[in-house]
A and B are shown apart, each in its own frame.
Chain A
Amino acid sequence: QVTLKESGPVLVKPTETLTLTCTVSGFSFSNARMGVSWIRQPPGKALEWLGNIYSSDGESYSTALKSRLTISKDTSKSQVVLTLTNVDPLDTATYFCARIDRWLGDFDYWGLGILVTVSS
């Protein structure tokens, strides 16, 4: 059974760095076909893809956030980490991690999401 779970702070101050962790189970990070993505949804707005990480060919990022965003993985802990620097109230959103199937282009398993508020 594939599961993903997001964890991290629910409140972050402007200009700080947001670090979220996605803990996965039920699939192997060494699977070249599957990766892990971060996706967010600001209140009342559409979902926004942030970036992916795969086992073999590294990461890809949203153009809009590329300068502030890093996605990394710790295979030994089955975790994928999102780091977003210099956050702004506009970064307030529910952040999801999801497994992405690069052959089919879909997100077949998602976490519940974590609501992160950026406020002083």
Chain B
Amino acid sequence: EIVLTQSPGTLSLSPGEGATLSCRASQSVSSGYFAWYQHKPGQAPRLLIYDTSRRATGIPDRFTGGGSGTDFTLTISRLEPEDFAVYFCQHYGSSPTFGQGTRLEIK
């Protein structure tokens, strides 16, 4: 089973700054089945990025996904107050697996 490890565990930044979140797979994976989600307390998780770099419907262009092989990133440019949340990555292989999440908090 592929293990996804996200870093950092917590990221403290200020609105307006940029953020880079990382997700490393324990072995090379197909970039065609890699996604990122945003999760806020009391809300349903929200799909942000699918197919490594394609934004889901309604996701602003300040969210950018990229990567290949074992290393994938989610970049958020110009953080807005509503961007502070938990982010997790996901790969769809023989069975779907998730990273443990990165908490993006206001500094």
Contacts and interface: CB of A to CB of B under 8 A. Distances in A.
A105 interface: yes
A47 B98 contact: yes
Contact of B45 (A49, A105, A110): A110
A77 interface: no
Interface stretch (B10-18, B73-81, B87-95): B87-95
A62 B96 CA distance: 9
Nearest to A101: B50
Given A46-B88, A48-B98, 4 more contacts: A46-B101, A49-B96, A101-B50, A105-B96
13 contacts: A47-B90, A49-B95, A49-B97, A60-B95, A62-B95, A98-B45, A100-B96, A105-B35, A106-B35, A106-B50, A107-B35, A107-B37, A108-B50
A82 B92 CA distance: 21
A112 B75 CA distance: 25
Nearest to B45: A110
Contacts of A110: 44-46
Interface string A16-42: 000000000000000000000101000
Given A47-B88, A49-B95, A110-B45, A105 B32 contact: yes
A37 B97 CA distance: 13
Range, interface on chain B: 20 to 34
Interface residues of A, number: 25
A104 interface: yes
Given A47-B98, A49-B97, A105 B92 contact: yes
B40 to A, nearest CB: 11
Contacts of A100: 96
Nearest to A63: B95
B98 A96 contact: no
B42 A112 contact: yes
Closest 7 CB pairs of A and B: A105-B92, A105-B33, A47-B98, A46-B100, A110-B44, A106-B35, A49-B96
